[in-house]
Structure 1
């Protein structure tokens, strides 16, 4: 009982999803005497749903791993696929090695984007599953609380505070708090992570001409287009006012530009109720572990400002405008303020 209470205190003491994952698998791993415990994500791949490892603890290791070994098609895990299709509470199977596996989806509404997986070398005891169910319930409720505190109330996007934390952790370079632990395929490619800033052009005139109700509707519709234009694993934030920020992961320079341009053209082609045509300008820069958050934001902002002052409704890459001499490389940007 003392050990269970200690773990409950640890789980509820976190204000971050990544560290919450680590606390939960540490608790379940110890209390169920598991061989391996993992937090998995269900993500959309090019050919259907995929399962991605988010955190893992194995054997007697005291340090959970957040390195992903690579995505696995959901259809290859038949018991879990059937459980998710039927909105089931759990699924179990026996591996070829004789291990017992228990999967417990974390249902939030109609979605189960998070799955807890527990592997034991023998069968689960009768009193063990209710205990794990209780921990999962606390985990689900606390995920809901974190989601609520991390979201912008108007658009439903992640908020500025969440962005500040995620960018800082990403640039610190990995560990349990990394935004994304790259797969082996991603490490072997030229893929990188990108910081994108977007601003609605002439948004003040929308509010002045049509009122704040229509201005809010434009913000909501642009936020929806951000979500649909970028990928499920990218992070989209409302930075404030008519400004948005995207953390785009695992894309080459050409892929990043194509994804960003897809969003820009989607907005330009959309007919907004009453307002009509709306456009966005965007600036982006590649970010790497060890970069300064302030400098990275400053570089993306400079690219956005360049787009704003050179016609609007365009996308500018910071490195490109530096290379062409359109923007002079500053001696230092570490004290720059974003927007």
Structure 2
């Protein structure tokens, strides 16, 4: 089978973003005879644009997904790559740069609705022919179309957030990475090991307070607008490496990656305050209640979600507009476990 056709078949068989990322860099690496190919994330952090590798492959290294615990430390300002920065600023199809050592780097942003969150980077010692660039552009177009299809199937139609069916897979991956983080050795010495001990993954359940009253008093169109605006506040309040889901109705779930308890509470509190201070058209003030819990590799997804739900229920029944931490409530005697098994736990308040 022709190599190009083989890679097209491979690209169109995947139903997972990570596998699709690996397929596109493998295809470009072979078709361009490149020294190295990377897929870069492009994201905004503290009003500055950063780039960070998502996946990479080279002549000496097989294709792999790049795992990053902290984008603020693992990313680079896009200003480190002037040609790419100019390309993104002016919505160009590609940019090329030749370094002092003669290596040539070609960047091809993946434009979706005038926004590029991902960019293909190809490094080679020889110039790129027009035929090679044309073939790569075709591969990028197929990749972009399938990313769109996958993204559409994983998004809530109203808010644009990740939907319920993607949650189980994302939580399972987070639990697995929590186990690896706790069991693996840290290569950068005792300080990094200590930091990993302090940092955890977190699950937060968010519920809009008195949402039924909004629908009853103002109608479902205004209710939908509230959900859209809360979703926007969720996206702007949490970090680029956190995952936000619409769970159904007025309930949302957030998976926070690698942060301390103090930072997790601070981030969640910031979101709660952002909602409380936001002026919702026609309606005025809206508040949210939040329950959150640390993600443990020793507990099932059902139990972890149940703990966060129990903390949320406590917040809803003790005044609303609160952020409550499950373990803190247990330590203070506000929640007590009465029975437990592998699938569920029952509590008394």
1:159 and 1:239 in contact (8 A); partners too? yes
* 1:149 maps to 2:149: no
Instruction: Report how far residue 134 of structure 1 moved.
Output: 0.3
Q: How far apart are the structure 2 equivalents of 1:46 and 1:139?
A: 29
2:55 and 2:63 in contact (8 A); partners too? no
Instruction: Report how far residue 27 of structure 1 moved.
Output: 1.1
Q: From the superposition, tell whether residues 316 and 169 of structure 1 become closer, same or farther in structure 2 (CA, over 3 Å).
A: same
Give the match's secondary structure for 2:117: strand
Residue in structure 2 matched with residue 332 of structure 1 by the alignment: 340
* 1:40 maps to 2:48: no
Correspondence for 1:218 among 216, 219, 226: 226
Q: How far apart are the structure 2 equivalents of 1:164 and 1:233?
A: 17
Give the match's secondary structure for 1:64: strand
Correspondence for 2:116 among 94, 112, 115: 112
Aligned residues: 330
Q: What is the root-mean-square deviation of aligned Cα atoms in Å? A: 2.4
Instruction: Report how far residue 332 of structure 1 moved.
Output: 2.9
Instruction: Report how far residue 66 of structure 1 moved.
Output: 1.8
Q: How far apart are the structure 1 equivalents of 2:98 and 2:75?
A: 21
Residue in structure 2 matched with residue 51 of structure 1 by the alignment: 51
Instruction: Report how far residue 272 of structure 1 moved.
Output: 2.5
Residue in structure 2 matched with residue 134 of structure 1 by the alignment: 138
Q: Greater shift after overlay, 316-325 or 62-71?
A: 62-71
Unaligned runs of 5+ in 2: 179-185
Q: From the superposition, tell whether residues 55 and 288 of structure 1 become closer, same or farther in structure 2 (CA, over 3 Å).
A: farther
Correspondence for 1:313 among 321, 326, 329: 321
Residue in structure 1 matched with residue 23 of structure 2 by the alignment: 23
In the TM superposition, 1:60-99 aligns within 5 A as 60-68=60-68, 70-99=74-103
Instruction: Report how far residue 330 of structure 1 moved.
Output: 5.5
Residue in structure 2 matched with residue 13 of structure 1 by the alignment: 13
Give CA-to-partner distance per residue, 1:10-38, whole Å, 9 cap, x none. 21112222221111111111221211111
Residue in structure 2 matched with residue 230 of structure 1 by the alignment: 238
2:35 and 2:123 in contact (8 A); partners too? yes
Residue in structure 1 matched with residue 169 of structure 2 by the alignment: 165
Q: How far apart are the structure 2 equivalents of 1:59 and 1:331?
A: 55
Give CA-to-partner distance per residue, 1:87-110, whole Å, 9 cap, x none. 111111123332221110001112
Q: How far apart are the structure 2 equivalents of 1:187 and 1:205?
A: 49
* 1:101 maps to 2:105: yes
Q: From the superposition, tell whether residues 141 and 172 of structure 1 become closer, same or farther in structure 2 (CA, over 3 Å).
A: same
Give CA-to-partner distance per residue, 1:95-154, whole Å, 9 cap, x none. 333222111000111211100011123222342111100000001111111121111111
Q: From the superposition, tell whether residues 229 and 118 of structure 1 become closer, same or farther in structure 2 (CA, over 3 Å).
A: same
Instruction: Report how far residue 58 of structure 1 moved.
Output: 1.8
Q: From the superposition, tell whether residues 186 and 66 of structure 1 become closer, same or farther in structure 2 (CA, over 3 Å).
A: farther
In the TM superposition, 1:215-294 aligns within 5 A as 215-289=223-297, 291-294=299-302
State TM-score, norm by structure 2: 0.87
Give CA-to-partner distance per residue, 1:54-85, whole Å, 9 cap, x none. 11112243342423492111101111111111
Unaligned runs of 5+ in 1: 175-181
In the TM superposition, 1:183-198 aligns within 5 A as 189=195, 190-198=198-206
Q: From the superposition, tell whether residues 75 and 313 of structure 1 become closer, same or farther in structure 2 (CA, over 3 Å).
A: same
Give the match's secondary structure for 2:11: helix
1:43 and 1:233 in contact (8 A); partners too? no
Q: How far apart are the structure 1 equivalents of 2:50 and 2:299?
A: 31
Q: From the superposition, tell whether residues 334 and 96 of structure 1 become closer, same or farther in structure 2 (CA, over 3 Å).
A: farther
Give CA-to-partner distance per residue, 1:310-331, whole Å, 9 cap, x none. 2211001112112222212465
Q: How far apart are the structure 1 equivalents of 2:140 and 2:86?
A: 20
Instruction: Report how far residue 203 of structure 1 moved.
Output: 1.4
2:300 and 2:343 in contact (8 A); partners too? no
